[in-house]
Amino acid sequence: MGKIDIIRNVPRIGLNRTEVALAIGVAPNTVDEMVREGMLPRPRRWHSRKFWRISELEAAMAEWPVDGEQEVDVSNWRTSA
């Protein structure tokens, strides 16, 4: 097993800002806006590196409204939980 094969088998638990943007199909600046609006969680930080836990992104996105359903005010959805 080569080095590339080992790297491929390491599970991803976090994404950087660019990877989050690619994963949800938006621009990196939109990720920042979504964090400010409370639609995405704030990133974790280790020294100067910022990353989002995939599990936290999935949990946040599970709370988003479903297209076609009545919109709910999400401005305080995290504080009311």
Task: Report strand pairing: 14-15 vs 44-46.
Answer: unpaired
Alpha-carbon radius of gyration of the chain: 15
Instruction: Give the type of residue at 49.
Output: R
**Full-model pTM:** 0.74
8-state DSSP, 67: T
Burial 25-55 (b: 16+ CB within 10 A, else e): eeeeeebeebbeebbbbebeeeeeeebbebe
Domain residue spans of the chain: 13-62
Q: Which residue has the tokens 């995405």?
A: 40
Task: Give residue-wise pLDDT tens across range 19-71.
Answer: 999 999 999 999 999 999 999 999 999 999 999 999 999 999 999 999 888 76
Per-residue confidence (pLDDT) for residue 33, from 0 to 100: 98
